[in-house]
Structure 1
Amino acid sequence: MNIILLLLVSSFLNISMEAQIVSGTVTDENNTPLPGVNVVIEGSKTATQTNFEGKYSIEAEEGDRLVFSYLGYKTAKIKLGKNKVVNVSLKPDTSALEESIIVSGVNNSQLRIRGMSSLPPQRESYNRIEENTFKSVNTSPLSTFSIDVDKAAYSNLRRMINNGQKIPKDAVKIEEMVNYFDYDYAEPVDEHPFAIHTKVAETPWNHETRLVKIALQGKTVALNDVPASNLVFLLDVSGSMNSPNKLPLLKSAFKLLTSQLREEDKVAIVVYAGAAGVVLPATKGSDKKAIFEAIDKLNAGGSTAGGEGIELAYKIAQENFIKNGNNRVILATDGDFNVGASSDRAMEDLIKKQRDTGIFLTALGFGMGNYQDSKLETLAQKGNGNHAYIDSMQEAKRVLGTEFGGSIYTIAKDVKIQVEFNPAKVQAYRLIGYENRLLNDEDFNDDKKDAGELGSGHTVTALYEIIPAGVHSNYLKDIDDLKYSKRSSKSSSEELLTVKFRYQKPEGSKSILISKPLEATVEPMDADFKFASAVALFGMQLRESEFTNKAPQSLVISLANAGRGQDREGYRAEFIRLVKTLSSGSHSSNDLTEMD
C-alpha cells in the first residue's frame, strides 16, 4: 500500500513539473503589440519571438524564468508560476542601445551593437550598389530595367536593426524594401497576367521635383488552380548551418511548406555538405509523414559543395519533370558555398545552363554572420527565380504560407519595363533603386535577354524622381550642346511619359508588349503611395544618399503613419517601429551604416 502511495505521489510530482505551453501578448508603453520580441527561458536555448500581433507561446515549466528583450526597451524577467497566460508590457530604455541584447539562439559576443566597435567583423557579402543619379532626358530619354519581386533586403535589414547591428550600405536595396509590402492595387481584368497602375505626385522630400509611381499587380491564382508541382528541396546541411537560426528554422519552414502540398504534387529532397545526395526520392505531396521524417533526420556538418548540390537538384527535377506543370528547385542556405563552383561568376555560369530547362528557382536565405546575399541574389536573378531572407518563423509563415502561391508559381517571366520621358515636360529623371536590375535600352526588345519573374498575386512598385522642365536644380550638371543630333523639346502632348512592358508566358519564348502613357497631372498621394515613398526615403537615408534633400527621419515616420491604412497583419506598424528604433538610438548617419 505504501509503495502504491509513493508511486502515486511521485507520479503527481512529475506531472506537476512537466512542461506546459505558456502564452501571452507583449506590448509597449502605449499598449501597442510589439512584434519580434525575443522570449527566452533563462539559462537555456529554448526561445521564440512574438508574432506581428505581439503574441507568443513557449513550452516552459513552473519556476522557469522568461526573459523578454527588445531593442530600445528595458528587458523584463518573469518567474513562472501556475498561470499559463503571461502578458508583459515593456518600458522604453534608450540606454539599452549601448548594452548587450539577448537574441534568440545567438551568442551576444557576435553581435555588432550601435556605438560599439570592438566586436569581430561580419563575413556577410553583398553585391556593390552604385546609386542611380539624375539623367538628362535630352541625352538619355529611355530608362530600362528588369522587375524585381525579391524581398530579402527588408527582412535582412529588420534582423540587423533588431539585433543592433550596423547596416552595410550595399545591403540596402530600396526596391526590395518597397516591394516587401502589400499594396491595394486592382488585379487585371483583361487577358494579361498583371494590371498596370501609374501616378505622379509632388515629392515629399523635395518640392521642386515630382515622384512617379509605376506599379504592377499580378493576377492571384487560387492554390487549387495551380498546376501540379514538381518540387525539389535543395537543403544546405553543411557545418555553417549548425546554429538555431539556421537548420532548425529551415526544418520548421519546410514542414510548413510541405503541409500545403496536394496529392498531385511531388517533392524530392537533395542535401549537400561535403558532397551532395538524395535523402528523399520524388514523393507524393499527400505522403507528408515520409517528407516530415526526412526533414527531421537532417543534421549539419561538413563543408559546402553548393555547386554539386545545384547540379543534382536540377537533375532530379528534370527526371520528374511535369509537362505544363510547376517545376521548381527551392534552395535553402546561408549561401556559404566553399567547395566546387563557389565564386559568383562560377555560380552564375552554372545556373545559366539550367535556365532553359523550364525549371524555376526559389532561393531562401537563413542565418547571420556569414550570410552570402550576393550569391543568392546571383542565383535568383540568373536562374528564373526569386529570393527571400527568412529571419524568423513569422517570416517563414509569410513566404511559405501566406504568399506560398507567389513564391512557387510564376505567372509571367522575363518582365521588363522601359520608360520614355517627354522632354517638353521632364528635364531629368532618377530611378530609385533597381541598380542591380538595370538593362541596356536595346535589351528591351531582345527576347533572349533574361529579366525578372512575376509570381501569383505579386506586386511590383517602381519610383522615379523627376525634375520638371524649366525647374532649376542643383542635381543637374551642364553638358555641351550636341553637334550632330538635336532632340526637340517642343511637344503639344500633355503626356509626362510612356511606359512599356514586355513579358513572356511561363512556358513561352516570345514576348508580349503592353504600352501605357501617363499624363503630367499631379495628384495627391493616396495611402499606398505615401507609404511606399516613406520606405524609399528610409532606404535613401540608410544609404546616406545625396538625394534625400536632408529630409529628417521624422518625415519617414510621418509619411508612414499617414500611409499605414488598415495594416491587417501589422507589417507597416512594424516598419514604423523599426524607424523609431533607429531615430531614438542614433545620433548621426554614421551610426546607421558601415562606410564603404
Structure 2
Amino acid sequence: MKKFLVIIMMFAALTGFKRGTTHTISGTVYSADDKLPIPGVTVLLKGTSTGTQTNAKGSYSITVPDGSATLIFNFIGFQPQYINIGSKTKIDVYLKAASSALNEVVVTAYGIQRRKDVTGSVAQVKSSQMIRGLVSGVAVNGAPGAAREVKIRGISSYGYLAPAPAEDNESYKGITENSFTNAASTPLSTFSVDVDAASYSNVRRFINNGQLPPADAVRVEEMINYFIYNLAGPTDNSPVAIHTELSSAPWNTKHRLLRIGLKAKTIATKNLPASNLVFLIDVSGSMSSANKLPLVQSSLKMLVDQLRPQDKVALVVYAGAAGVVLPSTGGDKKETIKNAIDNLSAGGSTAGGEGIKLAYKIATANFIKTGNNRIILATDGDFNVGASSDDDMEKLIEKKRESGIFLSVLGYGMGNYKDSKMETLADKGNGNYAYIDNITEARKTLVSEFGGTLFTVAKDVKLQIEFNPAKVQAYRLLGYENRILNKEDFNDDKKDAGDMGSGHTVTAFYEIVPAGIKDDYMVSVDPLKYQKNEVKVAASGSSEMMTIKFRYKEPVSSVSKMSQAVVYDKPVDFKLTSTDFKFASAVAEVGMLLRDSKFKQKASFAHAIATARAGKGDDSEGYRSEFIRLAESAKLLSKGTELAKVSDDE
C-alpha cells in the first residue's frame, strides 16, 4: 500500500511540473463589408495581457497556450469579435462595422476628455502594455493593468489599461495655411522641395489611439508624400524627372487641381557610395518607455542588417552628458554593432546639443570624401540641458551643415514629443525626418526605403512656378507652409533647400482658380495712393497655363543647375486621371479636413474615402488600404456627439 501511495505522489509531482506547450496562430483581419484587410486591429488573448496588432496588410501572428482559449479582435468603428482557438493555427477574421459612430468624448488614460481638448495620446507600446478596448488604442480610468469594461453607446468590450505617459507636453510648430494668391499681382510661387513624411505616421498614431490629431500636427504635404507613386525616373543624366497632371479639384469642380510629381533616379544598393554613419541616440530618462529606446534599438538593428563591408558606423549617446559607445566600425562587424546597441539603457537629463556636437566631431574624423556622411539622430526631441530651444538647435545645425555631413532625424514616443524641434533639425541639417510609431514603420523607413532615406542624389531642390494671368486668376499651394521661399531665393545658391534621395518621389498640389471664374476667394484691396497699382493682363492666344522651373545641386557641388517644364491649359476629366492622382488628392482632402481648413470647401470624408478607393491601385505593401481605414476611423471620430460611459463593473 505504501509503495502504491509513493507512486501516486511521484506521478502527481511529475504532472505538477509538466511544462505547458504553446503554438502560434496567424491570419488576416478583413472588413466584412468590402473584404479589404484592416491594419492596426488589436488581437488580445482573453484574460491575459498577451496581444499584438495587425500590420499594414492586415496580418497578425500571436503565440498562445495549447488548450481552451479565446482571441478578441478589436478595431475602431467595428464590433469586437471573440473566437475560440481550439487547435487552430490559422484564423482569418471578418469584422462587422459597428452601427453607432464614436462619441464626442474620448476615454483616455488621463480620464474623460472632450475630443477638441485632447492634444496628447495614449502610447502605442509593446504587447504586454498594449491598450485594450472597443476602440483600438483607448484606455480608461484606473490603475494600469486593471481590467475595465468600456461602454460606448451601449456597446461594451473588456480591456486592460495601458500605463499613462508621465506628462502631456507635445509641441508642434504653428502653421498658417497658404491662402489663394492673385496671379496678376504675384505670378511667382517658390518653395523648397521636401520629402519628409513624419506627419503621416504621427497622425496615424493619434487616430489609431482613438483621437483626432492637433491641427498643427497635420502637415498636408507630408501626408501626401508618405506614399510611393508610380512615376518614371529621368531618362537623361538629370537626377530628377518632372511630371504634371491637371484636372478639376474634387472639392470644388470650378477650380482646377495641378499635381507636380518629381521622381529621383534610383541607384542600386551595390552601386551606392560608401557610408560614414554616426548613430546619435538619446538615452535620457524620457526615453525609458517601451515605445522609445527599445523601439530605437530594434529599428537601428534592422538598419545595421542593410550595411555593407565598405560602410562604417559609430555609436554616440547622450543623456546628462554625451559619450562615444562604439568607435567607427566596419559594416561587416554586425554582431559588434548590434551588441553595442543592445547594451544601451535610459536614464538622466537630456543634453541634446552636446550630443549633436560630438556626433559631428566623430563624423568629421571619419569623413569619406565621395561618400555618404550622415548622422542619424534617434530621440523624442525633449532636450533640457545646454542648447535646447528650437532657435538654439537651428543655429547649431546651420553651422555644422557646411561640413558636408547630413543629419537625419528619427522621432519616437509621445506625451513629451517635440515635433517642432525635430522638424527644424532635419530641415536645417540637410536631412530627412521620419516618425517611427511601430516596428512596421521602422522597416518601411530603414529597410524598404533604405536608399531614399540615406542617400542623397539632389540637394537644395527648389521649385518656382510662374503662372500666366491670362489663364490663372488665383492659385494656392497645398501644404509646404514651412518651405515657402522668397522669389529671389530661387537663384541664390547660398539659400538652403530640400533634398531628394535615391528613388524618392515628391508630389505637390496647386489649387487653381481659372481666369474668368467668379469666386469668393478673390478679394480686392483699395487702390494705392502714391503709385499706380493696376496690373494689365495681356490677352494671350497661348494655351500655356504656367511654367515650372526646377533647380538643384549635385550632392558634392555648390553650383546649381536648372530645368523647366510647361503646363498647358488642357485639364482631363477627374475620372480619367491616374490612380496616383486620385489617391494623392484624397490624402490632401483628408489632410484639409483634419486641419479643419478654411479652404476645404465641399470636401468630406465620405468623398475622400471613395476617391482613395478608386485610386488604391495595386497596393502591394498595403499602405493605401491602411490610409482608407484611417480615413474611415477619422470620419467616425469627427461625428461623435454622446459621452462615453465607463463602467467599473467586472
Q: One fold, TM greater than 0.5?
A: yes
Deviations 1:480-531 (A, max 9, x none): 4564365441133211001101101111111111111111111232211111
Query: Residue 47 of structure 1: CA displacement?
Result: 4.1
Among 562, 566, 572, the alignment partner of 1:517 is 566
Q: Could you say which residue in structure 2 is the equivalent of 1:407?
A: 453
SS at match of 1:401: helix
Q: Could you say which residue in structure 2 is the equivalent of 1:499?
A: 548
Residue 29 of structure 1 aligns with an amino acid whose one-letter code is: A
Stretch of structure 1 that moved more, 328-337 or 121-130: 121-130
Say how many residue pairs are matched.
588
Distance of 1:39 and 1:431 partners within structure 2: 41
Query: Residue 89 of structure 1: CA displacement?
Result: 3.2
Deviations 1:180-213 (A, max 9, x none): 1111111110111011001221111112211111
CA RMSD of aligned residues (A): 3.0
Q: Could you say which residue in structure 2 is the equivalent of 1:70?
A: 75
Deviations 1:328-387 (A, max 9, x none): 111111111111111000010111111011111110111122211101100010000100
SS at match of 1:34: coil
SS at match of 1:586: helix
Deviations 1:222-260 (A, max 9, x none): 111111111111111111111121122111111111111
Among 574, 581, 594, the alignment partner of 1:542 is 594
Distance of 1:9 and 1:284 partners within structure 2: 56
Distance of 1:5 and 1:321 partners within structure 2: 73
Question: 1:61 touches 1:80 (CA, 8 Å); kept in 2?
Answer: no
Q: Could you say which residue in structure 2 is the equivalent of 1:191?
A: 237
Residue 38 of structure 1 aligns with an amino acid whose one-letter code is: T
Q: Could you say which residue in structure 1 is the equivalent of 2:180?
A: 134
SS at match of 2:29: strand
> What are the equivalent positions in structure 2 for 1:309-320 lying under 5 Å apart?
309-320=355-366
Distance 1:254 1:131, change over 3 A: same
Deviations 1:27-55 (A, max 9, x none): 22244321112334566665432112211
Q: Could you say which residue in structure 1 is the equivalent of 2:648?
A: none
Among 428, 434, 440, the alignment partner of 1:388 is 434
Question: 1:97 touches 1:164 (CA, 8 Å); kept in 2?
Answer: no
Distance 1:521 1:307, change over 3 A: same
Distance of 1:390 and 1:110 partners within structure 2: 27
Residue 428 of structure 1 aligns with an amino acid whose one-letter code is: A
Query: Residue 71 of structure 1: CA displacement?
Result: 1.5
Question: 2:426 touches 2:433 (CA, 8 Å); kept in 1?
Answer: yes
Residue 26 of structure 2 aligns with an amino acid whose one-letter code is: S
Among 247, 260, 275, the alignment partner of 1:229 is 275
Distance 1:255 1:10, change over 3 A: farther
Query: Residue 555 of structure 1: CA displacement?
Result: 1.2
Could you tell me which runs of 5 or more consecutive residues in structure 1 were left unpaired when the two chains were aligned.
592-596
Given the alignment of the two structures, is residue 484 of structure 1 paired with residue 532 of structure 2, yes or no?
Answer: yes
Distance of 2:13 and 2:27 partners within structure 1: 31
Distance of 1:441 and 1:373 partners within structure 2: 28
Deviations 1:35-87 (A, max 9, x none): 11233456666543211221122344336664433212233455654443343
Distance of 1:480 and 1:158 partners within structure 2: 45
Q: Could you say which residue in structure 2 is the equivalent of 1:594?
A: none
Q: Could you say which residue in structure 2 is the equivalent of 1:17?
A: 20
Stretch of structure 1 that moved more, 544-553 or 226-235: 544-553
Distance of 1:34 and 1:219 partners within structure 2: 33
Q: Could you say which residue in structure 1 is the equivalent of 2:134?
A: none
Question: 2:101 touches 2:636 (CA, 8 Å); kept in 1?
Answer: no
Given the alignment of the two structures, is residue 50 of structure 1 paired with residue 96 of structure 2, yes or no?
Answer: no
Question: 1:94 touches 1:585 (CA, 8 Å); kept in 2?
Answer: no
Q: Could you say which residue in structure 1 is the equivalent of 2:30?
A: 27
Distance of 1:538 and 1:282 partners within structure 2: 44
Deviations 1:310-331 (A, max 9, x none): 1111111111111100111111
SS at match of 1:472: coil
Question: 2:259 touches 2:510 (CA, 8 Å); kept in 1?
Answer: yes
SS at match of 2:306: coil
Distance 1:209 1:245, change over 3 A: same
Distance of 1:38 and 1:334 partners within structure 2: 25
Distance 1:6 1:476, change over 3 A: farther
Q: Could you say which residue in structure 2 is the equivalent of 1:558?
A: 610
Question: 2:527 touches 2:533 (CA, 8 Å); kept in 1?
Answer: no
Query: Residue 537 of structure 1: CA displacement?
Result: 1.1
> What are the equivalent positions in structure 2 for 1:40-189 lying under 5 Å apart?
40-41=44-45, 46-62=50-66, 66-77=71-82, 81-93=86-98, 97-98=102-103, 104=125, 105=129, 108=139, 122-189=168-235
Distance 1:459 1:223, change over 3 A: same
Residue 17 of structure 1 aligns with an amino acid whose one-letter code is: G
Query: Residue 162 of structure 1: CA displacement?
Result: 0.7
Given the alignment of the two structures, is residue 378 of structure 1 paired with residue 382 of structure 2, yes or no?
Answer: no
Q: Could you say which residue in structure 2 is the equivalent of 1:580?
A: 632
> What are the equivalent positions in structure 2 for 1:439-450 lying under 5 Å apart?
439-450=485-496
Question: 2:378 touches 2:409 (CA, 8 Å); kept in 1?
Answer: yes
Percent of matched pairs sharing the same residue: 54
